[in-house]
Amino acid sequence: MSLVKSTATIGLYTLLSRVLGFVRDVTIASSLGASFRSDAFFVAFKLPNYLRRLFAEGAFNSAFVPQFAGMLAVDGKEKARQFSSEAMSFLVMILLIVTALFMIFMPQLMVVLAPGFSDNPEKFTLTVALTRITMPYIVFISLVSLLGGVLNSSDKFAAVAATPVIMNLCLIIIPYFIDGITPSGAHSLAIAVMVSGIAQWLWLAYFCHKRGMLPNLVKPTLTPDVKKLLKLIAPVALGAGVAQINLFIDTIIASYFNSGVSYLYYADRINELPLAVIGIAVGTALLPMLSRQIREGKHEEAIKSQNHAIALALFLSLPAAVALVVIAEPVITIMFQRHAFGAVETVATYKALIAFALGLPAFILAKVLSPGFYANQDTKTPFKIAMVCIGVNLFFNLTLMGPLRHVGMALATSIAGWVNVVMMMVILRKRTWLVFEPALLQQVVKILAASVVMAVILYVLRGYSDPYMQKGEILRTCVLIAVSLVGALGYFATSFACNTMNARVAILKRLKKS
C-alpha cells in the first residue's frame, strides 16, 4: 500500500474519530464547563493517556514495530507472532504492577502531578477518585497499541485507525445511561474511559485473530528478542513523547491557575485534530514502510519515502496552522461557547489555541522525522533530543507564565516543538539517514506561498463575517464553514497553479488517459 493511500486510510478514520471527539468535548463543556469538576476529570483522563502515549504508543510501539516489521519481512509470520506473544507478556506484567502502584499511591502522586489542586480539598479528593477509576484503562489501551503495531506492520491500517472512534462513542453514550446512578457527571465520564479501553482491545483482538496474528499470553521470558526490545524501550519513552511530556509539564504548572487545565485541554483538543489526522497518520504509515526498506537494504527508496512524507505533512499542516491562527476565536466560540462555557472562557481558550497552532507544523514534522531514527533502531538520540527539549519547554514555561499565564505554557510547548524538529533534521542529515532532495525545497516554497494566499483570504473574510458571529448558533456556524471553505479553495487553487505536490501533472495525466 502506498504512503499516500495508507495515510488517507488512517487520516479518514482519525477525522471521524475527531469529529466524534468534538461531540464528546462539546457535551463535556456544556455540562461541566471550565470548573473544578472539569479540571479533575481532565487530569484523571490525561494521566493514563500520558502513560499510553509515552510507554505504549511512544516507547513500546516505536521500539516494537521496527523489530516486528523487520522480523515479519525476513523471518516470516510465525516467528513474528511468537515475538509479539513474548513482548505482550512482559508488557502486561509491567502494566499490572504500574497500575496497582498508581492506584494505591494516587493521593501522594497527585501532590506531584497537580500540586495546585492541594489548595482545594474538594477538587483534590475528586481528582484522586476519578483517576483511580480511569487507571485500568492504561492496561487495555496499551494492549491496543501492541495489537495495532501487529496489524500496521501487515499494512492493515483501517481497524487500528477506527479504535479511537470506539472510545469516543463510549464517552458519548455510556454517561447518558449511567449519569443517574453515579455521584456526578465526572464519575460517569471516568467509568466510560475505563470501559472504552476494554472495547478497543476486544475490537483489535478480533481482527488479529481473523488474520492468525493474535499474540498468546505466555510466561514472561527474557529471550534475546525481548532483551533487545527492552533495551530500546526506556530511551524511546522520552524520545517519542516530547510533546506529551511538555504538555504534562504544562498541566502541572497550569494547576496553579484557576481553570488553567481546562483552557489548555480545550485548546489542545482543537489543535490535535490536524495533528492526529496528518502527523499520526503519516508517521504510523511511514514507520513500518521505512523499517522494511532499511531491513531489505533499499536505502534510496527509504530516502524518497521520507522526502515524500515531509512534503505531504507540510502540504497539509501549514495551511491548518495558518487557519487556526487566523480564525481561532470563531472556532472556539462555535465549538464550546454555550451554557457553562461563556465568553470569558472563549477568550482564554482561543488565545491558548493560537499559541499551540504556532507549533503545529513542528508537532507534525516530529511524527514524520522520528521514524527515521526508530527504523534504524536508534532510540538513544531521540532520548537526548527529548531531554534538551524538555529543558527548553520548562525554561519558557517559567519565563512566560508570569506575563502570559496559561497562554505562555502553550507557547512554550510550541517553541520546544520547533527546537525538537530542528535538532532531528540536523542529526538525521549528518548521519545521511535523511537527504533532502532538490524537489522538496521547491515544494516547501510553493506550500508557503499558497499558505500566505489563504491567510490573506481568511483575514479579509474574517472582518466581513464578524457581525454574523454575534447571531444565532446555526447562522454563525454556516458563516464559519463558508469562510473556511473559501480559504481552503484559495489554498488548493494556488497549489494547483504552482503544481504543488505535482498535483497538476497527475491530474492532466489522468485526463489524457480518460
Same structural domain, 447 and 432: no
Sign of CA dihedral 422, 425, 429, 435: negative
Domain boundary among 378, 408, 436: 436
Nearest Cα to Cα of residue 302 among 317, 280, 323, 287: 287
Helices and strands in the chain, H and E counts: 23, 0
Q: What is the pLDDT along the chain (514 residues), one digit of tens a residue?
A: 456 666 667 767 777 877 787 788 777 776 676 677 878 888 888 777 776 666 555 566 667 777 887 788 777 788 888 888 988 898 889 889 988 998 999 998 888 777 778 788 888 899 899 999 999 998 898 888 889 888 877 777 778 888 888 988 998 888 888 877 888 888 888 999 999 999 999 999 999 998 888 988 888 888 888 888 877 776 665 555 555 666 667 767 777 777 777 788 888 878 877 776 676 667 666 767 777 777 777 777 888 888 888 888 888 889 999 999 999 888 888 888 776 677 788 888 899 999 999 999 998 888 888 878 877 878 788 878 888 988 898 899 889 988 888 889 889 989 999 999 999 999 999 988 888 888 888 889 999 999 999 999 999 998 888 777 777 778 888 888 899 999 999 999 998 888 876 654 444 444 345 4
Same structural domain, 426 and 455: no
Same structural domain, 389 and 445: no
Same structural domain, 429 and 458: no
Output the CA–CA distances (angstroms, integers) from residue 445 to 88, 167, 306, 364, 372, in the order listed. Answer: 45, 39, 18, 18, 23
CB 62 within 8 A of CB 236: yes
Sign of CA dihedral 374, 376, 382, 384: positive
Same structural domain, 238 and 347: yes
Residue 338 three-state SS: strand
Cell of 494: 494556488
Domain boundary among 397, 412, 436: 436
Same structural domain, 170 and 189: yes
Same structural domain, 51 and 129: yes
Same structural domain, 374 and 490: no
Same structural domain, 51 and 196: yes
Domain count, the chain: 2
Residue 449, burial from CB neighbour count under 10 angstroms (0-12, 13-18, 19+)? middle
> Look-up: residue for cell 533502531?
377
Question: Could you list the residue range(s) of the whole structural domain that residue 469 is in?
Answer: 438-514
Model pTM above 0.85: no
Same structural domain, 403 and 462: no
Same structural domain, 398 and 497: no
Residue 155, burial from CB neighbour count under 10 angstroms (0-12, 13-18, 19+)? middle
Same structural domain, 388 and 445: no
Domain boundary among 436, 455, 473: 436
